[in-house]
Amino acid sequence: MSAEYTEDSIRSLDWKEHIRLRPGMYIGKLGDGSSADDGIYVLLKEIIDNAIDEYVMGHGQTIEVTVQDKKVMIRDFGRGMPLGKVHECVSKINTGAKYDSKVFKKAVGLNGVGSKAVNALSSWFSVQSVREEKTKLIEYQRGEVIKDAKITGSDEKQGTIISFIPDDKVFGNFHYLIEYIEEMLWNYVFLNNGLTILFNGQKFQAKNGLLDLLERNINGNGPVLYPIIHIKEGDFECAFSHSSRAYSEEYYSFVNGQHTTQGGTHQSAFREAIVKTIRDFYKKDFETSDIRTSIIAAVSIKVQEPVFESQTKTKLGSLAIEPDGQSIRNYVHDIIKRNVDNYLHIHSETAEALYKKILQAEKERKDMAGIKKLARESVKKASLHNKKLRDCRVHFNTNHEKRLETTLFITEGDSASGSITKSRDVQTQAVFSLKGKPLNSYGLSKKVVYQNEEFNLLQAALNIDESLENLRYNNVVIATDADVDGMHIRLLLLTFFLQFYPDLVKAGHVYILQTPLFRVRNKKETRYCYNDAERIKAIEKLKPSPEITRFKGLGEISPSEFKHFIGTTIRLEPVVLRRESSVAETLSFYMGKNTPERQVFIIDNLRIEEDIAEHKVA
């Protein structure tokens, strides 16, 4: 019998209740900090965006950011919030100065939601404004005022100080990864010449905009084929080159300083403009893929009132540059056409290198055509969707509120894949089952992707052959046993991704599934432990004489138990590429010919393998 639909069914939520009930509408997914797009980083970004907007408007050259454990503090030296409206600015939806384009031009935050979402989703939130030698401080607990200090005199420098602790009732046992925060802060300074960000005492500065950004990020793709072309005109800036090793396209795109990880109108316009300009310059109708394969580019545009496809602002939907109404497409095309054409006419060495690159890409594409055709037929014969892949219903490359949760678990063997398949969320979680150990692909050409059945089926499942934009799962999780064989398979899979699809790793899509090594339980309680320290703690907690089980493989964990480990309490370890080492150097060290350096590394880390062996015996 259905429930009655009456006046009593209608419920009005206040601002904080609505945010806490539907956090995904405001910050995307929640997560625990393992992924760069998890909610705790969105909270951090929302407050920094406000400080950046102050800088862009010419107020304050420095922003201080401190993250200690779970507490965050952001301090700008801008104008400071009007003291009589501090409470409204951080607690009333649709309240703020950014609706007035005269006060905030080409700002990121335009809808008056960001700081309110942070306030509502924090267990503790503090805002202090210093303005005209006076200050106002208010503190909140989950959006409720717990301290409202009177306006007093102050000799502090003008600006706004916001501190908060994300609510563990919302985000669970979360943690901040410094690497993700540093990446975010570097992007801010690359896009704002003259800005200084102090993060936990470390200084972040840049002088050459997107040129610096590309030089910092291009290392992992090997040497470039020609010097980076850097263009800056009006409200548009870009920098690009072609890598000597990459097989795909890689973009870093921004709107008003916001990292649009999903691209949008500006990125599409750049990609079209590059193809058209190069075709016109060489007077040849080159294939689009031959021109863009292995390009690495950074693109930035400033728009008066940007329209994003979500509150998290990862994709630009605006079609025009305001206020004159010129289309973004035409605006970008004109700038690229004029500047790139001039550059290639002046720099003949670059024009020659680019021409040779396009011809080489054309040759490789034609050589691969037959192999790809056979590979596609092989996928069909293998009945991918029935045997190797247990697919989910929602995919990352579709517009759906759960797209950020889409996950592909890559498992070893049928037993592990069977357990995960039975316990997964069929809406967002898919399972790909490996057959034995994958091939060591280090040093091999991309032909192996299509000629090796396992790799061919895997890339087809991920849908990443043509472009990373077609990726079907936001999270690609390697789920192998926590033993020597499992670690070997993990290493071989990482080699495959880094060798042929490094952008998948760089974009933060690849993870390692952490599964418990022990189960400690008594008649009243069960605890799952991921290391010895947790096991010892559990034994002490559940004494006397609890039952202790050592899981030797994923296949030993029942489907009912697996629900704990791939649901809301999932533990994922992100695969993060550190900037100081390139992909080529990393692969060469771990997967190349044996070297004295690697022998020393293995000897120094033998203890880890010994610990695993002891656990297997225990």
Note the pLDDT tens digit of each residue in 287-321.
999 999 889 999 999 887 777 676 566 777 767 66
The fraction of the chain above a pLDDT of 90, given in percent, is 39
- What pLDDT does residue 110 have? 42
Q: Which residue has the higher pLDDT, 259 or 11?
A: 259
How many Cβ atoms from other residues are within 10 Å of residue 466's Cβ? Answer: 10
Q: Report the C-alpha gap between 528 and 521 in whole angstroms.
A: 8
The fraction of the chain above a pLDDT of 70, given in percent, is 87
- What pLDDT does residue 381 have? 65
- What pLDDT does residue 581 have? 60
Question: Once rounded to an integer, what is the mean pLDDT over residues 18-32?
Answer: 82
- Kindly tell me if the per-residue pLDDT of 212 is higher than 80: yes
Report the CATH number at residue 20.
3.30.565.10
Question: Once rounded to an integer, what is the mean pLDDT over residues 555-569?
Answer: 79
- Dump strand ranges (E) for 338-406: 389-390
- Kindly tell me if the per-residue pLDDT of 33 is higher than 60: yes
- Co-location of 481 and 344 in the same domain: no
- What pLDDT does residue 579 have? 63
Domain of residue 273: give its range. 210-360
Q: Which residue has the higher pLDDT, 443 or 70?
A: 70
Q: Which residue has the higher pLDDT, 448 or 322?
A: 448
pLDDT band at residue 502 using 50, 70 and 90 as cut-offs:
confident
- Co-location of 339 and 458 in the same domain: no
Please write the tens of the pLDDT for every residue from 76-125.
999 999 999 899 888 877 554 443 444 445 555 543 568 899 999 999 99
369 domain-assigned: no
- Co-location of 426 and 574 in the same domain: yes
- Co-location of 454 and 490 in the same domain: yes
Domain count of the fold of the chain: 3
**In the numeric block, which tokens belong to residue 298?**
């950074």
Q: Which residue has the higher pLDDT, 313 or 446?
A: 446
- Kindly tell me if the per-residue pLDDT of 171 is higher than 50: yes
When mean pLDDT is compared over 384-388, 459-463, 480-484, the highest value belongs to 459-463
- Dump strand ranges (E) for 217-333: 229-233, 236-242, 250-255, 258-259, 295-301, 320-321, 326-327
- Co-location of 493 and 465 in the same domain: yes
Q: Over the chain, what is the mean pLDDT?
A: 84
Q: In terms of C-beta density within 10 A (0-12 exposed, 13-18 middle, 19 or more buried), how is residue 25 classed? A: middle
Please write the tens of the pLDDT for every residue from 387-400.
688 899 999 888 78
- Co-location of 129 and 244 in the same domain: no
2 domain-assigned: no
Give this prediction's pTM. Answer: 0.77
- What pLDDT does residue 484 have? 82
Spatial contact of 190 and 252, defined as CB atoms under 8 Å apart: no
- Co-location of 197 and 217 in the same domain: no
- What pLDDT does residue 351 have? 96
- Co-location of 401 and 281 in the same domain: no
Question: Once rounded to an integer, what is the mean pLDDT over residues 151-173?
Answer: 93
- Co-location of 395 and 414 in the same domain: yes
- Co-location of 92 and 132 in the same domain: yes
Q: Which of 217, 219, 213 is nearest to 190 (CA)?
A: 213
- Kindly tell me if the per-residue pLDDT of 3 is higher than 70: no
537 domain-assigned: no
608 domain-assigned: no
Return the residue matching tokens 């921004």: 254
- What pLDDT does residue 210 have? 94
- Kindly tell me if the per-residue pLDDT of 606 is higher than 80: no
* H or E segment to which residue 459 belongs: helix 453-462
Q: Which residue has the higher pLDDT, 614 or 159?
A: 159
